[in-house]
Each structure stands twice: as structure tokens, then as C-alpha cells.
Structure 1
Amino acid sequence: MVFSHPWLLWLLPLAILPLLLQRAHAKHYSWVNMLPADPLSDLVGLLLKALAVLTLVFIIIGLSAPHTKEQSVERIGVGAQIALVLDRSASMDDPFSGSTDATGNTTVGETKSVAAARLITEFVKSRQQDMFGMITFSNSAMYVLPLSENKKAIISAVQATSGNALFQTNIGSGLTSSAGLFNKIPDSGSRAVILVSDGAGRMDANTQQKIKDWFDRLHLSLYWIVLRQPDGLSIFDTTYKPVEDQPLPAEIELYEFFKTLKTPFKAYEAEDPKSLQLAMNDINNREKKPIKYFEKIPGRDYSNVCFVIAAIMISLLLSVKYLEVKTWH
């Protein structure tokens, strides 16, 4: 048991005042030795004083706000520890392809960042027992949130990414920072990094090796959702051949690198919000492994209990006062 305002407990000695004070009309008679002894009345008087003492005790304890401590209980559930790595480059402000109705009018679709924020928010809300962390990246990584069970915080952070985007695409920095989120965090048994980008940047050999080592050591699965234009290059195009003496496009080069990871890897391509939704649904179905997690049980507040008990005692005292025979003069 702990108290929110323990300093109020210093008022507890005041509770003995009813034992020290006498009733106002107790001095009206100068000599009562001729009256017979009345043990029952003496006992009732003592009980009433004790009741008054307890009333003050419960009021003071109630004001000090007693409560039990928050507890963490280990549970077995279904979920994962998930790091969201979101692209904040300027191209994320480009809209998905629009739609054309029967009259030939074309409507512009959602921007990639808005659609991604909306669908990831729905994804987070559907995952009740997961821990989420978040990294964004453009020309460098930006640490947003550590792995946490605070769904409100992660949803607010995700929704903030639908605003104005920044500059370049440095995926290597984003992935190395995301791996750092899992460092010193107990492994729940299921860990994943969800990378959402509309392009790719080239990574040097040192960065690639660091990602390989960290993902292997920390047992991290990787899901890469590529947001691309319908006429853009597909990372799954096995027939693509680069121009002679030219390197592979950054997207395909990155895809080939991810396939060399020792941990599970899955890539998706999304050309519109619907295909992005399908990718998120597939990830949701894949990351449903048994995990150990700690459920926080808030402490119980006993202030109201103390006040209710004090109110009952005050009611008893008032009832006795009402039944008391008036002093005869």
C-alpha cells in the first residue's frame, strides 16, 4: 500500500481528540455521586468516542489517497515486436495513380504518405498485444519512438508522417536505426521490421554488413513494401537487364541484397491503396506467433472506500445524536 499524499498522515494524531474532549453538558451537574453506576451508558459513550476516532482516521487516510502499486503480469498471447521504418523523402508526397470514371474524369488518388499513414494506423489498432517502435528516414534516420505498448503514441507518430516530406532516401540509415530499437529489449519470440518506401538508395558494403549482422543477431524478420507507380520498374521483373556497363537500378540492387539476409524476408509492391492494404493484411497474418508479454495492471485506489466507511460512521453518530435524550434542566 502506498499513498499519493503521505504528508497528510501526519494529521492522524488529531484523531484522538474525541477521547480528550468531553460533551458540552457533562459539567452541568456539580455532584452525581448519589446516582447509581451505569456501566452500559459508560460503554456506549466509550464506543461512540471510538467511532468518532475511527471516523477521523478514515477521513485522513482517504485524503492521503491510498492505493496499491501497478503490477506487471506475464501473459502468453499472439503478436510481435514490430519496428516501423517509414520513408519521408519528397517523393512520398506524390499521389497514387488516380481513377477514371465512366465520363472520362480522372480523380487524383491519395498521396503515398497519407495512404500509408492511414493503413498503418489501422494495422496498429488491430494488433492489441504488439510492441511498436518507429523510425523515419530521408537523407538520414530520425528516431521517433522506442518499442512500446503505448498505442496512442505510435498512432500519433504514424499520423504525423502524412505531413510535408523531406529530401532524399537513405534506407541504410533507417534500417540500422531500426535494429537498434531491439537492442537491450528482451526477445518476445517474434520480431519484425516493416520498411515502407517508394524507392531505394544505394548502401555501401559496411552498411550492408552491419544490417546483416544486426538482423541475424537480433532475429529480425524484414518486410519491405515498395510503393511504386504503375509504369515504374518492378523489383520482381526477372527479365530486366541493365544497360551495358551500368549498375542495377537501386530498387533491384536492394532487393537482391535483402534476399541474402539470414533472417526471413518478404517484399511487396503496392501501386495503389488497395494493394497496400493487401500487403498490410498479409503481414498481419504472418506475424501471429505465440509471444510472452507483460500486461500492466493498474493499482487500486482505496480513497473512496475510506470515505464511504467514514460516511457510514458519521451517519451512525448522527443517528445516535438524534436518539439521545435531551438534558433536563
Structure 2
Amino acid sequence: EEPYRLRTRLLGQLHRGAGCIGRSPQFEGIDIFDSLPVRLCPACEQKIDIHRDHPEGTCYVCTQPVTEDQRRRRGELEKRSLAAEADDLQEVIARTRSDLDQAKADHRHAQSTHQDIARQLNVDRAARLAPFMARLEEMAAQTAALEQKLMALPAIEQMLTRKTAATQTSQAAQERLNRLKQQIDETPTTGRTPIDRCALFADRMNEFLNRHRDDVWVAGNVAISADDLTFYVGTRPWSQVLGAEARVLFFLAYSRALLFLARDLGDDGPYPGLLMLDNPFQQGIASDVVHEVLRDIADAAQATGAQVISTQAVPVPRLSRGIEQIIMPNTYIGEPES
């Protein structure tokens, strides 16, 4: 009997406090049943089947009739509750918006303060570092110079190593040269000296050139330096004194003097066994002069036992015995060659 009375009393309180809402499955009681959904019976706490059979127009919890007036009052109550909640939400939104604006303003103020502090720190730092900037820049320049020198150290070490090796090689060569010079000085010399040899060769050339002072050779005597074998005509090198005709005669005199090396120097120097002349008729030298020169060279060849071969652009009369002429079958410049 007690459970039944409790159930009746609870149902009565439910109807008095919240009213019946018919078939609404989401009814939530207020007062003592504020957190208890309608799907659960407030008396026995069993699940309520909203689809069970019950008279139309009655509450599916207590099966009492539900009028429209009760439903309207319930709806108005819900509207007032929702309006109150909406007002609360608007107030919360307004308060939140105000807090957000204040937070944004505080953030902007904090940023401005941060920038001011950073600017002031930069100014203070620059003021503190100003007396040391010149020294710091000088130290940076010295550091860069030291880094460059450190990078160049391997190359310098290689250069020093190569210099040491070259110095040792040079010293060894100098020592060997000194020994050779000492051996040459200690070795007894045989034969003629270099000065005598150059003088004999120059005399042979002057002997030939003196015969042509009236026609082609108008320069001075030939002299030879024993130090570097430079040929002088008079007091200057031959290349600075002689013209075209004189140069041809100079080379012919040089070629004839080579044939007398064996006679003049003996075993002191080698001598040529063959002399080849390529068309000595050049630079406008008269033919009779060339004929005389060839005759002189031919006599020197017979006297020294050498052989002379000369190409000629014009026919040459038989100069002496032992000279053989070969006429070439082809003509290149309108005249036969021999």
C-alpha cells in the first residue's frame, strides 16, 4: 500500500508542477523531477513506452485527460523559459564580446609596449656598443685577414717546399759546374785556343772578301767574338751593317771558310764534307762576280777534298776541271736550270 501511495503522490506532484503534455516524448519535469526525463516513470523508474495504447487526449504517464488550456500554459512556460535563456545567452554574448574587445585592446597595447621596449633596448644597446664599434670593426677586419692567410698557408707551404727543392738542385748543379771548371782548369789544354780558332776562321773569310772590295764588298773586315761567336763587320754585328748584296757575299765567304776547317784547325774541330749552295745568283750580283766566286769555292773544294753542289738559275760556263754541270729538263721561270 505504501508504494502505491508514494506513486500516487509523485504523479500528483508531477501534474501539479509540470502539467501533462500528452504524447510529447521529451517532457522534462520541473521542481523535484527537473532532471528526470518523461521516458522514465517517476514512481517506479521503469521505461515508459510512448507507443503503448492509451486513450486519445490523455497523458501517457498518468492517463489523465489533458486539456488545451494546460497545453497552452505549458507552451507559454516553455517560451518564457526559452526567452529567459535567450536573454541569458545575449547577455553572455555581449559580455563575451566586451571581454574580447578589451582583450584585443590589451593585445594591441601590449604589442605597442613591446615595440617601444624593443626600440628602447636597441637604442640602449647601440649607445652601450658605440664606444666599441670601431674596435669591433677593426677586430672583424683582422679576423678576415687572418682567415685569408690561413687559407693561403697550404699554398705557401707547397711553394716553400718547391723552393727548397729548387735551391738544393741549383746548389748541386753549381757544385757540379764548379767541379767541371776545376777539372777543365787542371786538364792540360791541347791545340789552339778559342780566340785563335775564331781568328783563323775570320782570316779565311777576309781572304775571300778582300778580292771583291772593288765590286760588291765595301764593308770592313770580319771579326768573331770568342765568347758568344758573334760575327762583327767592323765594329758592329754583321746583321746591322750589311745590305742585300753584301749579305750574299758574306754567306759565300762563310761557306768557303768552312771548307778550310780541317786544314786550319787540324784535329781541333770537325769539317764539312759537303757544301750545298742554292742559286747564288741573287740580289743583282753580276754574273762574272758569281762565276769568280764559284771558281774560288771549287778550287777550295779540290784543295780540301770536299764536294760542292750548287743550283744555278742561268747557264754557267765551264769554270775549271772537275766541275760537272747537269741541265735540268724542265724550265720554271723561262730559263733552263743547271
| TM-score between both structures, scaled by the size of structure 1 | 0.19
Larger fraction in helix: 2
Higher relative contact order (CA 8 A, sep 6+): 1
TM-score, scaled to structure 2: 0.18
Question: Which structure shows the higher strand fraction?
Answer: 1
Bigger CA radius of gyration: 2
